[in-house]
Amino acid sequence: MKKNKFIVSTLILLVGGFITKILSLFIKIIMTRIIKTDGIMLYTLTIPTYNLFVTLTTVGNPNVVSKIVSERKYRNKNILFSSFIISFTFSLLLLFILIFSSKKISLLLHNEDLYLPILFISFSLPFISISSSIRGYFFGKQNMFPHVISNFIEQISRIIIFIIFLPIIKNVENKVILIILTNTICEIISIIVLLLFLPKKININELNLKINKDITKEILSISIPTTFSRLIGTISTFLEPIILTNLLLHNGIDKKFIQYQYGLINGYIIPLLLLPSFFSLAISQSIIPVISKNYSLKNINYIRKKIKEVNLLSFLIGLIYVLVLYLNPKYFLNLIYNTSEGYNYFYILGLPFILLYIQGPNISILQALNKTKEASFHTLVGIILKFLTLTILSFYNLHIYSLIISIIVNIIYVSVSNYLLINKTIN
């Protein structure tokens, strides 16, 4: 029964993730054809800031709430309320920080056109905090259907907004602002859908408005190291374009060339390489309650078996997909983005990116094994190695390839270190 529930949960996430990915692919096709490469460049430079503040806002909520709900130590409505309070408080604080810092961030990126797109990120933060807590509850119950349905409706809403409004707007900067604002609209829609699936016994209107100190303490004890781990990664992506731009400008490279090439790598090549990442995401989300529960029951043999299955499946998915892309990367770039620019970067990044399909599930496994701090340390060391590599190679006139090589160094170190830590823990 336990095994069947895991398989059913994973299958629901896989099917839902596949449908959502097809829709997001359709969204990318619409978006890239309307906003062109210049718009993609602006959008790509905005996304690191978006990811950084979303990570801080959610405080690791989906996975943390999932873990606590699956252990069945507290009443579910008390868990939900405590997570609401924590993440919503963070989101309001971050909203004001982003409003006052958005101008400075655009100046650090040497592009004043980024000011308003970054500013409008702040509106989505409170809604993201709410939806993340509710999703965590459903993950903990291994009920993936509400998450899948909300994602589906969210993507359909995004498609409708893009088709109707994006072509009307003439200015590239305003097009990017609309794309950012669409995230806020879709988060509100997603919350409404998720609330409809909550059981009556945890009706939001009937929540006991008292903070449970034990639950709050446990949430923070898990979420702070978890958020720290993710924060390291998102701070890295946030600093990446800033450091790269300033290093290459110092070496005499043209600003527009730097930002254009950065847009190609992070707007086209990396998203194409990670297109089937919904497989890894589905496995990551469904494996946490399974590993966490069995680790508390000391079912080590069962855990070993699940870890082997997860790693083998994730590796095969990444390997097959990358090998297919290697046959003709120009064709796939043209098919999705209507351009083949940057295809040469694919040949260098392709094979190392297979490890990323394993990295996500293994980080979730470490979290379930209470090894979040160790995983965070590996992430931190990986980031330090990445920026050291980037800095050193940029002075050897490798230009944008200094970024590509530094990304590969980071992927290899973090993936291998986490895998070795899992083996050490379960043995």
DSSP state of 266: I
Q: What is the mean pLDDT of residues 329-352?
A: 88
**For residue 71, what pLDDT is reported?**
63
Structure-block tokens of residue 189:
């829609």
**For residue 201, what pLDDT is reported?**
58
Q: What is the mean pLDDT of residues 292-298?
A: 75
CB 386 within 8 A of CB 404: no
**For residue 408, what pLDDT is reported?**
94
- Distance, in Å, from the CA atom of 280 to the CA atom of 318, rounded to the nearest integer, reads 9
The DSSP secondary structure of 306-359, one letter per residue, reads HHHHHHHHHHHHHHHHHHHHHH-HHHHHHHHHS--TTHHHHHHHTTTTHHHHHH
Q: What is the mean pLDDT of residues 278-298?
A: 74
For the beta carbon of residue 274, count every other beta carbon within 10 angstroms. 17
- Give the H or E element holding residue 248: helix 213-250
Q: How confident is the model at residue 424 (pLDDT cuts 50, 70, 90)?
A: confident
CB 349 within 8 A of CB 407: yes
How much of the chain, in percent, has pLDDT values that exceed 70? 86
Q: What Rg, from alpha-carbon coordinates, does the chain have?
A: 21
The closest of 333, 328, 408, 349 to 37, measured between CA atoms, is: 333
Query: How far, CA to CA in Å, does 17 sit from each of 163, 280, 297, 337?
Result: 22, 10, 30, 21
Q: Is the pLDDT of residue 146 over 60?
A: yes
Q: Is the pLDDT of residue 139 over 70?
A: yes
- Residue carrying the six token digits 């690191």: 48
How much is the mean pLDDT over the chain? Answer: 82
- Distance, in Å, from the CA atom of 382 to the CA atom of 314, rounded to the nearest integer, reads 21
**For residue 229, what pLDDT is reported?**
64
Q: Which of 54-63, 216-225, 241-250 has the highest mean pLDDT?
A: 241-250
Q: Is the pLDDT of residue 143 over 80?
A: no
How does pLDDT run across 233-255, given as a tens digit for each residue? 788 888 888 888 888 888 888 88
**For residue 412, what pLDDT is reported?**
94
Structure-block tokens of residue 257:
């060339």
pTM of the predicted model as reported, rounded to 2 decimal places? 0.74
The DSSP secondary structure of 272-308, one letter per residue, reads HHTGGGHHHHHHHHHHHHHHHHHHHTT-HHHHHHHHH
How does pLDDT run across 148-186, given as a tens digit for each residue? 888 889 999 999 999 999 999 888 889 999 999 999 999
Q: What are phi and psi of 272, to 5 degrees?
A: -65, -40
Q: What is the mean pLDDT of residues 368-384?
A: 84
CB 10 within 8 A of CB 283: yes
**For residue 1, what pLDDT is reported?**
47
Higher pLDDT, 305 or 10: 305
- Distance, in Å, from the CA atom of 243 to the CA atom of 398, rounded to the nearest integer, reads 15
- Distance, in Å, from the CA atom of 319 to the CA atom of 356, rounded to the nearest integer, reads 11
The DSSP secondary structure of 224-236, one letter per residue, reads HHHHHHHHHHHHH
Q: Is the pLDDT of residue 357 over 80?
A: yes
Q: What share of the chain is helix, strand, coil (3-state, %, to 5)?
A: 85, 0, 15
Range from 115-124, 144-153, 179-188 carrying the lowest mean pLDDT: 144-153
How does pLDDT run across 311-324, given as a tens digit for each residue? 888 889 889 999 99
